[in-house]
Structure formats: C-alpha cells, structure tokens
Amino acid sequence: MTAELIVRSKRVVTPEAVHPAAIHIRDGVIAAVTPPQEIPPRCEVFDAGYSVVMPGTVDTHVHVNEPGRTEWEGFTTATRAAAAGGVTTIVDMPLNSIPATTTLEAFEAKLAAARGKCQVEVGFWGGVVPGNLRELRRLYEAGVLGFKSFLIPSGVDEFRHVGEADLEAAMKELAALGALLIVHAEVPGPVDNALAASGDGHARDPRRYDTFLRSRPREAEDEAVALVIRLSRKTGCRVHIVHLSSASALPLLRRAKAEGMPITAETCPHYLCFAAEEIPDGATEFKCCPPIRERENCDRLWAALGEGLIQMIVSDHSPCPPEMKQRESGDFLRAWGGISSLQLRLPAMWTAARQRGYDLCDLTKWLCSAPAALVGLEKRKGSIAPGCDADLCGWSPEATFRVNSATLHHRHKLTPYAGHVLSGVVEATFLRGNLIYDRGQFPSSATGALLQRAHAWTSPS
Ligand SMILES: [Zn+2]
C-alpha cells in the first residue's frame, strides 16, 4: 500500500481511543491507521508531534446567508473561519439567504453562489414552509441533506413558519422520502402569553437580559418538542430538534427515545458556556432564540449530553451586520437574535467540557461523528478510520488564547466569546489530505466540495 501522505501524532483520536498513530492518506482518503513507526519509504510525513489529531469537525447548523444577504455572512468568509477553527464540513441553513432554499430553483441559486468559494465541504438543508409541499421531493432528489422548519416566526419574511396542519402534511411527505426533518422547536402560544403578561412588551427594561429571557419561556420549547414527537409518532418521520435550550423538554425526549422513536437533538456552545445570570445589561451579542437560560438549566443540558439524550453540539453560527445587534442602545428586544461562533466551537467546547471531566473522545463524538451521522455522512466524515475522507484537525488542547476579533475570519467579529481565554489552539486543518489551514495561514485555495446527497453518497434511509 503506497500512501501519498502520512499524518503522524502521539495523540490521534480514533473511534476506539486516543493513541499514537500514523494516518496513511491516499487520494484524499484514509487508507490505513497504523502504529506511528510504520512509515513506508519515500512518502511525505506531516509530524504533528504531541498535538492532538482528531477528525475535522462537522457543523450541521451554520447560517451562511449567501446569496441575498452576503453582507451578513458569505461562503468565502464562513468557510475560511471554518478552516481556521478545524471545521471541515458545514451544512448551510435554508434561511436568511434570498431566496430561501425552499424551491429547486432557489437551491440551484444557492449552489451557484457557493461554487468555487468554499474552503471546506458544504452541504445544504432545504426548507419546509407553508405552500412548498410539492418542492420537497424535487429538493431532496437534487441533493439537500434534509429539511428545516420553524414553528414560530423565523425572523425573516422569506421563510415563514408552519402550523400543525402544514407540518403534518410535510412530515408525511418526508417520511415517504425517508428524509430527516429538523425543527426550530418553539411555538408562539407561550411567547404571546409572556408578551401579554408584560403589558405592552415595553413595560420592562429592554436593556436587561432578564426582560428578553422572560419573553421566550421554556414552555414554548417544551410544547414544540411535544408537538414534534406527537407528529413523528403519527407520520413515522425522522426528526431532530435543533438548538435545544430548555432542559425541561428533556424528559419528553427521554420517553420518546425509550419508545424507540427516531428522534435526536442538538445543543449549542452558548447554552453550555454561558448562563443568563451572568449576561450583562445591554450585551446583545448574547441574544439568540431560544435564549441562553439559567445556570441550573445549563447543568441539566450537560447531564443530557453525558447521558446521550443530546447527541451533538453545533454552532448555530448566525451573524448579522453589527448595527443590527443594536449594541449601542443595548436593546435586547430589537436586536437580531443570532450568535457568531463557527470558528470557536472547538476551543469553547473543549474549555467547558474538560472542566466538567469530559475527554477528547466525548468531544469528538459531539463535534464530529454524531453530526456527520445526522446527515448520513458517517462513512466519509467525522471519524479517523480507513475509507473516510482525510479531513483532520491538529490542535493543542493545553495551549490557551484570548479571543481577539483580529483573529476571527467571520465576516463580522462581534461575538460573546470576545475577550474570553479558551483552551485549545487549532494549528492545522486538512481537507481530503490537503493542508487548508496552517497556524494562521491558508496554504490552498478553495477546495471544498458541495455535498449533494444524491450525487455524493447513497441515502442512509
Ligand atoms: Zn439557526
């Protein structure tokens, strides 16, 4: 067996363990993983020394916003930030771009906008909105990895939320296709009730985080999760809860899983790193929906990760131009809800996970293998194993850095992590055996593929 490149380290994270190994790479694919001394003559060796080498991370929840709102975030900037953060696959959300990815034509516009710009692999979610039932099959056959819907206004007019009847009809169609539905699980009722209870909604100080938190109560999430479970049971549609924040929805998920229902859930770094009690007045960079909740809620999300009830951590990177964050007025109620963290997910999560006693194998499951499996990519992405693409991240878990906007490659630099000292410095990122990031440099141009389900791999269903 002749390898073109060997990546070697004393700490390689494979599905079994962390151990010294040589990763043999041929044609961009991992041909073998051997003891580190087994190096064939005349092949190129990248020796990562004592740095950890783990699979390139997979982030299935990224809002790129191109075409149409490229000034918020675009493929060039997002995928550059991804490469710098050790992320080798992202999956783009169907909303915030114009058009939203809810028709075949819109998907084609999205692919045209992305082509030739991506430093890392990019897959796409399609959208379920009122009235696009007939588009779902066309989108799926054209290669979207699954479908997203909202149960509450999404924040942009082009992507309308669905009610129960629309959702049920869509889930029947998706079940027939074998497609996955991912759901923004908040329903309007409890949010409307909270608004009514606060008078005209301006009776409380909009600069206080607590005012915003009370406007998005846990019940909105809990009722939405219950609805999704009920409709999944009725239709057989596979479902996934995105950005779960409310820990009081966890017992519902536990019961559904015990029944053997096809349901998974993700949470995000901001729900695991921050607590409502610590968010300063006016700090709208912390605003997202559903909101960051109390410390006690955060502890229960961690326990659910440990239990396997929440399977993965994804960024929900959702930036906007800084003026939309209303940082000057500090008005939480008017600010755009979305947090930028694509480049920082690995160090943010490692910093928090190690403090809670979790290890590199846990981190790899949450950031790499579980999100890859969610979108049917587990045979190619998210693991260091023969047959997988040689997507790798070399990083130092012991090294620390202070988050500084000058080193962020996101289009906009505002992030709640600014100024925080994090453990875990990404040193090198490989995409299919190509070094795409090397200690602050980007040695190769856009080499990321657009991952279209039907063309790139067979459907998991
Ligand atoms: Zn999102």
What is the per-residue pLDDT across 312-354, written as a single tens digit (0 to 9) for each?
A: 999 999 999 989 999 889 999 999 999 999 999 999 999 999 9
- Among candidates 43, 18, 64, which has minimal Cα distance to 411? 64
Q: Which pLDDT value is given to residue 458? A: 37
Q: Which pLDDT value is given to residue 457? A: 45
Q: Are residues 216 and 160 in the same domain?
A: yes
Q: What angle do CA 65, 286, 301 make, to 5 degrees?
A: 100
Which residues face 266 on adjacent strands? 312
Identify whether 162 is part of a domain: yes
Torsion angle, alpha carbons of 227, 231, 237, 240, to 10: 0
Q: Give the DSSP letter of residue 131.
A: T
Q: Is 72 in contact with 65 (CB distance < 8 Å)?
A: yes
- Give the Å distance between the CA of 129 and the centre of ligand 1: 15
- Give the Å distance between the CA of 15 and the centre of ligand 1: 28
- Give the Å distance between the CA of 265 and the centre of ligand 1: 13
Q: Are residues 41 and 61 in the same domain?
A: no
Identify whether 386 is part of a domain: no
Q: Are residues 39 and 79 in the same domain?
A: no
- Give the Å distance between the CA of 45 and the centre of ligand 1: 39
Q: Are residues 245 and 329 in the same domain?
A: yes
Q: Are residues 219 and 275 in the same domain?
A: yes
Count of beta carbons in the 10 Å neighbourhood of residue 192 = 12
Q: Which pLDDT value is given to residue 453? A: 83
Identify whether 456 is part of a domain: no
Q: Which pLDDT value is given to residue 199? A: 72
Distance CA 355, CA 297 (A): 17
Q: Are residues 261 and 342 in the same domain?
A: yes
Residues in the chain, total? 461
Is pLDDT above 50 for 89? yes
Q: Which pLDDT value is given to residue 446? A: 80
Is pLDDT above 60 for 179? yes
Identify whether 459 is part of a domain: no
Model confidence at 202, pLDDT cuts 50, 70, 90, reads low
Model confidence at 461, pLDDT cuts 50, 70, 90, reads very low
Distance CA 449, CA 115 (A): 8
Q: Are residues 43 and 26 in the same domain?
A: yes
Q: Are residues 24 and 110 in the same domain?
A: no
- Give the Å distance between the CA of 242 and the centre of ligand 1: 8
Which residues make Cβ contacts (< 8 Å) with residue 227, sequence separation at least 6?
151, 164, 167, 187
Identify whether 282 is part of a domain: yes
pTM given for the model: 0.96
Identify whether 449 is part of a domain: no
- Give the Å distance between the CA of 79 and the centre of ligand 1: 17
Identify whether 426 is part of a domain: no
- Give the Å distance between the CA of 128 and the centre of ligand 1: 14
Domain that holds residue 19: 5-47
Distance CA 412, CA 410 (A): 5
Identify whether 442 is part of a domain: no
Q: Are residues 203 and 328 in the same domain?
A: yes
Q: Which pLDDT value is given to residue 200? A: 60
The count of domains in the chain is 2
What is the pLDDT of the chain when averaged over all its residues?
95
Name the residue with tokens 């409709």. Answer: 231
CATH number, position 168 = 3.20.20.140
Q: Are residues 41 and 83 in the same domain?
A: no
Q: Are residues 219 and 172 in the same domain?
A: yes
Q: Are residues 233 and 300 in the same domain?
A: yes
- Give the Å distance between the CA of 184 and the centre of ligand 1: 8
Q: Following DSSP, what letter does each residue of 154-205 receive, concatenated? A: -SSTTSPPP-HHHHHHHHHHHHHHT-EEEEE---HHHHHHHHHHTTTTTSS-
- Among candidates 391, 349, 379, 362, which has minimal Cα distance to 89? 391
Model confidence at 136, pLDDT cuts 50, 70, 90, reads very high
Measured CA distances, 288 to 28, 245, 336 (Å): 38, 10, 8
Distance CA 257, CA 450 (A): 33
Q: Is 423 in contact with 400 (CB distance < 8 Å)?
A: yes
